[in-house]
């Protein structure tokens, strides 16, 4: 298994000694296939850490991190398709009308509030979270005095002509459709759509591309 990578990999034991715990896209490491640019195929169990933005795989009983994606052409995990763009992994999500939305899944932890004297959480001002696509959205920081929550900060991409253009929010999406800015803004507002919800983003893109 290690021979196919031709890249540097690290044991998770040493990796997690330096960083916070991962937030996985899949509930468990899942059967998948990597197609390399030399047309060779590798099959094992994979997962994507959406907190540290890396691809992990099983090598026997060990979990490894694939740190160099330059030789990867495409990835399929559990029937879901992914592409590599630079150092980033994007899921290919079908959009109504026949096009695709590319999603770079990312979540980060923010303080939910400090624990009080009786373990109650003293809330601060926090952003709401849409974690419908994630099974482990209730991750807590290891520090006992601080509880954490996850917020979604995905990067999305669509093809404009032959170029893959990225966006993260309403403003950056509207720049990709300058001729239909008012219609898209009205659609978002009238349907109460949020860019923190991946399913809402799919609806917005489908509408924008139909104009």
**pLDDT per position as a tens digit, 84-142:** 998 899 999 999 888 999 999 998 877 775 444 444 443 433 333 333 433 333 333 44
Decide: 174 and 190 in contact? Cβ < 8 Å: no
Say yes or no: 21 and 87 in one domain. Answer: yes
What pLDDT is stored for residue 30 in this prediction? 96
pLDDT digits (tens, 9 = 90+) for 15-31: 444 457 888 999 999 99
Task: Look at the chain and report how many structural domains it folds into.
Answer: 3
24 plus 56 within the same structural domain: yes
Q: Is residue 100 part of a domain?
A: no
- Over residues 166-208, the pLDDT tens digits come to 999 999 999 999 999 999 999 999 999 999 899 999 999 999 9
Half-sphere exposure of 158 (CA within 13 A, CB side): 22
The domain in which residue 144 lies consists of 107-152
Q: Are 204 and 125 contained in the same domain?
A: no
Say whether both 145 and 176 belong to one domain: no
Domain check: are 61 and 138 in the same one? Answer: no
- In this structure, the answer to whether residues 7 and 54 fall within a common structural domain is yes
Look at residues 66, 56, 57 and name the one whose alpha carbon lies nearest to residue 9: 66
């Amino acid at each position: 298994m290690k021979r196919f990578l031709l890249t540097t990999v690290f044991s998770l034991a040493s990796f997690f000694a330096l960083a916070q715990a991962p937030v996985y896209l899949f509930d468990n490491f899942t059967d998948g296939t990597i197609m390399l640019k030399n047309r060779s195929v590798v099959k094992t169990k994979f997962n994507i850490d959406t907190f540290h933005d890396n691809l992990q795989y099983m090598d026997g009983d060990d979990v490894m991190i694939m740190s160099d994606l330059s030789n990867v052409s495409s990835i399929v995990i559990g029937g879901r398709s992914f592409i590599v763009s630079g150092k980033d992994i994007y899921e290919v999500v079908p959009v109504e009308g026949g096009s695709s939305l590319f999603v770079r899944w990312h979540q980060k932890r923010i303080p939910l509030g400090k624990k009080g004297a009786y373990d109650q959480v003293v809330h601060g001002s926090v952003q709401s979270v849409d974690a419908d696509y994630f099974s482990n959205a209730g991750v807590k920081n290891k520090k006992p005095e601080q509880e954490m929550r996850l917020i979604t900060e995905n990067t999305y991409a669509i093809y404009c002509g032959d170029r893959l253009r990225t966006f993260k929010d309403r403003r950056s999406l509207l720049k990709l459709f300058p001729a239909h800015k008012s219609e898209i803004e009205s659609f978002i507002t009238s349907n109460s759509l949020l860019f923190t919800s991946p399913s809402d983003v799919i609806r917005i893109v489908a509408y924008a591309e139909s104009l």
